[in-house]
Structure 1
């Protein structure tokens, strides 16, 4: 059995009122992360970079994917404009979440509200090589719906 990696978090704010990112259920893949900012309103069409007050440190073979929370998306139209966002293992700045309101009404976001989820994934770093030709396939360059519907 593979050992479990450790993700380390540092608080930027000395006020420990916000919990560390955590999974809502035992089998949840994502760790909910919360807004560390004062309460604000996200108007329809607005994009705002929301600070979490946290810096993370993870092993060099992991990335952190920042994904929307389905409840915010379905109930209010609030999602992430660059989903999933990627945090590389060598980044040591504050974890920030870009929120966009695609809904029709303003949405209030309170300090401590869960605004995104963090999903950790292993990644590969293959060698990149320039070649004169690539191997042909039956599909070729057909894409964007070329395999049909249904």
Structure 2
């Protein structure tokens, strides 16, 4: 699958799941780290929710919270998806990160509330 890489203490990297997934409109999923890696200090996801209707590889935020470097190899099972059945399917709108095959960098600047807040007048401090 490829050479490993070393994640040093305090570092954050974006990675993508090996699997390409399609989440139906009546399910949601959470990314959960495997316990063995958590014991090394590896945090597998800082944004753990996979929305209903999402299609693509899941972008993972990998953080080494431990004291020692962690060597990871592509394809290694570091986490899992835990699915929750929704009582009512949701209407899946355009998902900002859908159809990803590589790690996706933040698109927070595309959020409509951010754009609206940046256009709003600000109160002056005295």
**TM-score with structure 2 setting the length:** 0.61
Aligned to 2:68: 105
The runs of 5 or more residues in structure 1 that have no matched partner are 1-16, 18-36, 126-150
> How many residues matched?
89
Aligned to 1:78: 42
Show CA shifts across 1:33-89 (max 9, x none): xxxx74211010011111123321132110011011111011x11113526x11112
Aligned to 1:89: 52
Match of 1:71, SS state, is helix
| Cα shift at 1:103 | 0.5
- Residues 32, 45 of structure 2: 8 Å contact kept: no
- Residues 66, 86 of structure 1: 8 Å contact kept: yes
Answer yes or no: is 1:66 the counterpart of 2:31: yes
Aligned counterparts of 2:44 and 2:75: Cα–Cα separation in 1: 18
- The structure showing larger relative contact order (alpha-carbon pairs under 8 Å, at least 6 residues apart) is 2
Aligned to 1:131: none
Show CA shifts across 1:90-143 (max 9, x none): 222321221110001111001221111110101356xxxxxxxxxxxxxxxxxx
Q: Which has the larger radius of gyration?
A: 1
**TM-score with structure 1 setting the length:** 0.52
Aligned to 1:53: 18
The runs of 5 or more residues in structure 2 that have no matched partner are 89-126
Higher helix share: 2
Aligned to 1:44: 9
Aligned counterparts of 1:96 and 1:38: Cα–Cα separation in 2: 19
CA change 1:117–1:124 in 2 (3 A) is: same
Cα RMSD for the two superposed structures? 2.3
Aligned counterparts of 2:78 and 2:24: Cα–Cα separation in 1: 24
Displaced runs of 4 or more, over 4 A: none
- Residues 11, 64 of structure 2: 8 Å contact kept: yes
